Chain A
């Protein structure tokens, strides 16, 4: 997005809006949710599921819509990630994608 709106790049507006909604989540829980003595269980379950659901939606197409190297890397990361910390999994994944692409997969 490279437009300009009121003399300010659209990217900057987008970042400002993203900052505002993020602060909203950090302040809003206290201001709104704390007025309820108890959150209904299904709403609670839905809220809890949001981050995993969004992040999975970002990863899944990357696993199937790219080449063999990308699919193999994510599959390996999935297995490795169940056993080692995030940072180690990340390093393995990074090394793997470079190696697999270099050998031409």
Chain B
């Protein structure tokens, strides 16, 4: 095999565990999208263009609440803001790529993609676009396909509550929250956000509780004494 072909397949191999871990959530996204009022086409479009699982689920939660579109966009932005840190950290590792290649690569910058690229760079192996896309493409193609399959099946489910499907998003979000628990200031941030959100929910009402809770948590994070040691940017999710 030519060097670039074997590099591509090294990337594909790195994608396999991610593809397996992401599959249930890719399907779930499609099913919930339809349950929350999107069409099958819109569900596929969202997976294909946003390609960031947690933020897509957050978007769904808000689509069903009939909130103003800009609030949905702002919430997606907030959940995806961590990518700014990945992008800044990874940009230095892609030094060999021409600008347009970086532009392509950054579209596919999911949490596991970031983790694997950092690991490869740490091992002193160049992070080329061929390897990078070898990993990114299987994750991407299946993610989009799963949204479609999930949406087709989701439209067959007439009573989501009977299968607990309407309550899967909170469970999923709780799992994501716990994934951050190693970060400094985790507990104060979560307590502040939780209380702020509940207070907002019962006073000004939905969807403002999301912004209010988030702002409360971020303010607490800023007021806490800064962490003593510098930390590397750690990826938080095992799926896109």
Residues of A with Cβ closer than 8 Å to B? 1, 9-19, 21-30, 32-34, 41-42, 44-66, 70, 73-74, 77-78, 81-82, 86-87, 89-90, 93-94, 97-98, 101
CB pair B217–A52 under 8 Å, yes or no, is yes
Residues of B with Cβ closer than 8 Å to A? 21, 24, 37-39, 42, 45-46, 49-52, 54-55, 58-59, 61, 63, 66, 69-70, 72-73, 75-92, 102-103, 106-107, 109, 161-164, 167-181, 183-186, 189-190, 192-198, 201, 206, 209-218, 220-222, 224, 226-227, 236, 238
CB pair A30–B72 under 8 Å, yes or no, is no
CB pair A14–B173 under 8 Å, yes or no, is no
CB pair A22–B217 under 8 Å, yes or no, is no
Nearest-CB distance from B72 to chain A (Å)?
Answer: 5
Nearest-CB distance from A75 to chain B (Å)?
Answer: 10
Nearest-CB distance from B24 to chain A (Å)?
Answer: 7
* Interface majority SS (helix, strand, loop, mixed), chain B: helix
Hey, which chain B residues are within 8 Å of A93, CB to CB?
168, 171, 174
**New A-B pairs, 9, CB < 8 Å, besides A26-B109, A82-B178:** A11-B42, A18-B59, A53-B192, A54-B210, A57-B194, A60-B213, A61-B201, A93-B171, A97-B164
